[in-house]
Amino acid sequence: MKNGKKNILVPTDFTKVAECALGHAQVMAKNLDAEITLLHVVGKQSEVEEAKGKLKQIAQKASQESGININILARVGNIFDDIGDVASEIGALLIIMGTHGLRGLQYITGSHAHKVITHSTVPFVVVQEKGIKSGYDEIVLPLSFDKETKQKMKLTVEIAKSFKSKVFIITPKEDDEFLNNTIKRNLAFAKNYLAENRVPYEVKVAEKGNFAKQIIKYAVLVEADLIAIVNSNEPSLLPELFGGSKEQQMLTNEPQIPVLCVNPTEVSKSGGIIGS
């Protein structure tokens, strides 16, 4: 946050999914009393002015419709480094970014989105082409035995309070006694934190099997508007052949539910945000 005003960064490649990301950002900015910075990264200096012209048209139209202040920025560089760098420079609260899917051929595919997230200290909301309704009324919050769990709640609760959301906690089914006890402690912390902040919640234990798939299934069941995860930064073997890491599976989920994603390093520095 610079100059006392919250800021949301929206990278754009001028496609439909980027337009969708801007729509999400407008709803988020209105509820969080923030402004928006619209960013396009180009490969050559000669492309900057054309990009600025496109950004200006989009920003003016969106600002007139929403009443939100929208800044523009065209920058020479690459998406993997510069999105995170710009977010840090402007003190962004969030980056809201569109993805074209795990095997997409366009600007930011699911695997590219994951790489961009891994290189940023600012939390992301990653969206696909599904538009936003009125807000994030139902939020799915996965919890497991990760050591970061007690540091994961802050931003999820801030968003939930802003949108008057209900949080749906889901935990894995675990037979190991030690891991199960760890999950129970983390769940107790989460329930207390939500109760202290007067955020309504429900709890579900997932069925046996792929936890990422169970999360998405549950999100569909409760008609979730947002899924909150922590990026493990773990590389997956042959992601393009076997469906990618669990984070990529979440970012490119078939129901196109937006995903709030943060790196564990950011959790440790800021007091924590979300489920893993």
Domain ranges in the chain are: 6-127, 138-270
Strand partners, 37: 9, 71
Q: Which of 97-106, 136-145, 231-240, 256-265 has the lowest mean pLDDT?
A: 231-240
Specify the pLDDT at position 171.
93
The structure's pTM equals 0.84
Check: CB of residue 113 under 8 Å from CB of residue 36.
no
Residues 220-249: what's their mean pLDDT? 66
Q: How confident is the model at residue 268 (pLDDT cuts 50, 70, 90)?
A: very low
Specify the pLDDT at position 150.
58
Residues 33-56: what's their mean pLDDT? 95
- Positive or negative, the CA dihedral 153, 157, 160, 166 is positive
Is residue 240 over pLDDT 50? Answer: no
E strand residue ranges, the chain:
6-11, 34-42, 70-76, 94-98, 124-127, 138-142, 166-171, 201-205, 226-230, 259-262
- CATH H-level, domain 138-270: superfamily: HUPs (3.40.50.620)
Distance CA 52, CA 155 (A): 32
Whole-number Cα distances in Å, 242 to 37, 102, 130, 216, 269: 36, 11, 25, 18, 33
Specify the pLDDT at position 46.
95
| Cα 264 to the center of its chain, rounded Å | 13
Check: CB of residue 146 under 8 Å from CB of residue 113.
no
The whole-chain average pLDDT of the chain stands at 83
Residue 153 φ then ψ, to 5°: -95, -20
CATH fold match for the domains 6-127 and 138-270: yes
E strand residue ranges, 77-200:
94-98, 124-127, 138-142, 166-171
Higher pLDDT, 218 or 105: 218
Higher pLDDT, 120 or 259: 259
Residues 140-148: what's their mean pLDDT? 80
Q: How confident is the model at residue 265 (pLDDT cuts 50, 70, 90)?
A: low
Check: CB of residue 267 under 8 Å from CB of residue 273.
yes
Specify the pLDDT at position 236.
38
Q: What is the pLDDT of residues 181-207, one digit of tens each?
A: 988 988 998 999 999 999 999 999 998
Q: What percent of the chain has pLDDT over 70?
A: 79
Exposed, middle or buried, 175 (CB in 10 Å: 0-12/13-18/19+)?
exposed
CATH number of 6-127: 3.40.50.1100, 3.30.1360.120, 1.20.1250.20, 3.40.50.620? 3.40.50.620
Residues 58-67: what's their mean pLDDT? 95
Specify the pLDDT at position 96.
95
Whole-number Cα distances in Å, 44 to 49, 74, 75, 79: 10, 11, 9, 13
**Of the candidates 212, 230, 141, 147, the residue with the CA atom closest to the CA atom of residue 182:** 147
Specify the pLDDT at position 272.
36
Distance CA 225, CA 163 (A): 11
Q: How confident is the model at residue 56 (pLDDT cuts 50, 70, 90)?
A: very high
Q: How confident is the model at residue 102 (pLDDT cuts 50, 70, 90)?
A: very low
